[in-house]
Structure 1
Amino acid sequence: MRDFAHEIEQRKQAGLYRTRRLISGPQQPELVADGKPLLSFCSNDYLGLANHPGNIDVLNSALPKTGLGGAASHLVCGHHNAHHQLEQRLADFTQRSSALFFSTGYMANLGVISALAGRGDTVFSDRLNHASIIDGCILSRARVRRYAHGDVGALEAMLAETSGHKLVVTDGVFSMDGDVAPLKELARVCKAHDALLVVDDAHGIGVLGPQGRGSALAEGLSESDVPVLIGTLGKAVGTSGAFVAGPEVLMDYLVQKARTYIYTTAMPPALAAATCASLDRIEADDQRREHLRQLIARFRFGAEQLGYELMPSQSPIQPIMVGGNQEALALSEALEQQGLLVTAIRPPTVPDGQARLRVTLSAAHTVEQVERLLSALAQSRALIPDGSSRAMATV
């Protein structure tokens, strides 16, 4: 029998062992983790809507009307009117013809990619795409070709030499680097080479674009440019679930073919009602996004002044590059000792030698809280051994 305990010990020695924290109370910047109050800078709740009182009120008022559980899959008797209203709302929000509601972002990527490509087809995937995209490509059983991160020229060369049905898949905002895909150029080469473009905008929806409508609309790209748009609702939207939006014929095709949609119990319909309310808030609240932009600018300026190496990101995802696994864990622990929660990200989530602290900012943070983080980062530099981290520099 495989020695699982030995493998776990090896992960511990390599600085790759993962643990779970027990969170008490609602998700917000000031939370309780393992019984200890901490100021969190690692949540994907970019707009601070996960604990919004108005959204909670809508959820509570919907429960007596919808009940709690989804009870069945959407194709049996689980497709509630609340789900239907949410799909219509998502289509309107993303300015697409139609939308389909999935239970999670992971399931959306698995289901969409494996339905739209199969044996004999070719899928082209950015090398830094999320694990759910990678797994969706594998599950499709299509030929998978990975192109260098953001390298449209390399992708175009691959497309030019490939025949048959072609699918290009990319994150909109890359979850570990925080940069945005070159969507205009991707749309151009996909049209030129008759490839179907799929964009997972999990980290762009709510944050980027006019009224938070996402990275595609931030670039002025329509449904004809980005035919398949995927997004999650558990990040900036603050609730749960995911969706895919695009032409009605493709949504109908996914209802017939996407196994992660067909064979999954529908999410609680009351949650769909709360999500509609959250989308209304996102559309109407540009001030929330402006406050978030100001926090991002303040953090970047302060961290760079301290000599930390950041990625070229203007999104709420602000990685601090460290390099080694143990060094990243040490920096995370140093911050936690000062009452801040910033998790270390290590391989295989990121490439070997590129361990980092993934700082994520939220509109729920205050300027004073960001200043507290910068102060803690200044104090923590002295706790990292000299020369152990490429993020450290002399001020």
Structure 2
Amino acid sequence: MHRAERDPFDWIDARHERLRAAGLVRTLRPRRADASLTDLAGNDYLGLSRHPEVTEAAAEAARVWGAGATGSRLVSGSTGLHARLEESLAEFCGFEAALVFSSGYAANLAAVTALSGPVGSGTLLVSDEGNHASLIDGCRLARAEKTVVPHADPEAVRKTLAAHGGRALAITDSVFSVDGDAAPLSALAAVCREAGAALLVDDAHGLGVLGEGGRGAVHAAGLAGAPDVVTTVTLSKSLGSQGGAVLGPARVIAHLVSTARTFIFDTGLAPAAAGAALAALGVLRREPERAHRVRAVARELHRRVTEAGLRAVRPDAAVVSVQAPSPEAAVQWAADCREAGLAVGCFRPPSVPDGISRLRLTARADLSDAAVARAAGTVVATAPAV
């Protein structure tokens, strides 16, 4: 039989060239452990990833439990650290129970797919158009009916739920990762209850930043522990570690243990990450002022860049989004900042839903006032001409 002389991956070259021409090629840039850059690119909001208590807890967990979890949580991947972390997260955030996953992405996939019910159950998923990719992918994998509604629009959610009339799950970020704006959680909860729908909130950017002592946006909205509300969090932002968790009513968490594929089939969170997150949570309990400080830093960054004439969204949490004139300009701007000693995020299509490229500045509680002033000055000094 004649074999076609064709390269099955030749389409990749053409695709790469189109991305390159549009300024959308991504590259990896390993950072050095001793990097001297001021970091406004990562999500270490509270400055805990290198806190001595946190790093020592990670090291001790590895010494006691080993480098890896060794298996899925249902086989050999659960340790006493995982149980303690789940209890502590649930208590701190005000929920009945919690379940820890290997990443925040896996936690969101689990929550959306498991709470949509079995195929054919008639559940409608109502998703905000600004939601994180992990929530979007969860909706795709759920094989349920889904509707995408305009950003942060409770009335659109109400109309969608009313037209459906059946079982439904509304899904939203608490703080949206692109612009750092907060969802109207109280209003969303009200329209969900009017329709008898559940509400799923990804509080990745709210935990450690918003609410009493950093207990999160859901807690701040008075929804923590509600029987019709489930939230997800990540351990890799404010807690400076790795992993994610789903928090909610005990029966919801028990349901995830038995049905969530990213829990059943994935290797458990590494003990070192669990130990680090547990220690970071302890630091936050002891030093709740870190949550106030990171919000103050975000507001100061916003004030300084906007007073200099740049366009930026007023931050509701720790993210400051500064608009760039084009993808190419955003990439060059970020590179110029790096050359000047400042690491910033660079968001371009398809990461931004509206097609507007941005620099994304993430505030940190451990930055001094002088460091904040220097960082904002660097962003302004390297800004492209419009």
TM-score normalised to structure 1 length: 0.91
Q: What CA deviation, in whole Å up to 9, does each residue of 1:313-353 have, x standing for no partner?
A: 23110000124111212221222221211132101110354
Q: What CA deviation, in whole Å up to 9, does each residue of 1:214-249 have, x standing for no partner?
A: 001112223226521100000001111110011111
Partner residue of 1:23?
A: 31
Q: Is the 8 A contact 1:211 1:284 kept in 2?
A: no
Mark the CA change 1:271 to 1:352 in structure 2 (over 3 Å): closer, same or farther.
closer
Structural mapping, 1:28-43, within 5 Å: 32=35, 37-43=36-42
Residue 38 of structure 1 deviates from its aligned partner by 2.2
Partner residue of 1:85?
A: 84
1:97 aligns with 2:96: yes
Partner residue of 1:245?
A: 247
Q: Give the letter for the 2:318 counterpart.
A: P
Q: Is the 8 A contact 2:302 2:315 kept in 1?
A: no
| CA distance in 2: counterparts of 1:177 and 1:226, whole angstroms | 27
Partner residue of 1:390?
A: none
Partner residue of 1:162?
A: 164
Q: Match for 2:125 among 95, 117, 123?
A: 123
Residue 291 of structure 1 deviates from its aligned partner by 2.5
Residue 173 of structure 1 deviates from its aligned partner by 0.7
| CA distance in 2: counterparts of 1:379 and 1:268, whole angstroms | 42
Partner residue of 2:312?
A: 310
1:358 aligns with 2:352: no
Partner residue of 2:45?
A: 46
Partner residue of 1:12?
A: 20
Partner residue of 1:28?
A: none
Residue 297 of structure 1 deviates from its aligned partner by 2.4
| CA distance in 1: counterparts of 2:381 and 2:58, whole angstroms | 42
Residue 309 of structure 1 deviates from its aligned partner by 0.6
| CA distance in 2: counterparts of 1:174 and 1:332, whole angstroms | 21
Residue 196 of structure 1 deviates from its aligned partner by 0.9
| CA distance in 2: counterparts of 1:373 and 1:60, whole angstroms | 32
Q: Unpaired runs of 5+ in structure 1?
A: 26-30, 388-395
Instruction: Let me know the Cα RMSD of the aligned residues.
Output: 1.5
Structure 1 residue ranges (4+ consecutive) displaced by more than 4 angstroms after TM superposition: none
| CA distance in 2: counterparts of 1:204 and 1:365, whole angstroms | 19
Please give the secondary structure, in 2, of the residue aligned with 1:185.
Answer: helix
Compare 74-83 and 205-214 and name the one that shifted more: 74-83
Structural mapping, 1:305-344, within 5 Å: 305-344=307-346
Residue 86 of structure 1 deviates from its aligned partner by 1.1
TM-score normalised to structure 2 length: 0.93
| CA distance in 1: counterparts of 2:324 and 2:227, whole angstroms | 37
| CA distance in 2: counterparts of 1:336 and 1:70, whole angstroms | 36
Structural mapping, 1:1-395, within 5 Å: 1=8, 2-25=10-33, 32=35, 37-117=36-116, 118-119=118-119, 120-224=122-226, 227-381=229-383, 384-385=384-385, 387=386
| CA distance in 2: counterparts of 1:10 and 1:308, whole angstroms | 30
Q: Is the 8 A contact 1:216 1:226 kept in 2?
A: no
| CA distance in 2: counterparts of 1:9 and 1:293, whole angstroms | 41
Instruction: State the identity as a percent.
Output: 37
Q: Is the 8 A contact 2:58 2:271 kept in 1?
A: no
Count of residues in correspondence between the two structures: 375
Q: Unpaired runs of 5+ in structure 2?
A: 1-7
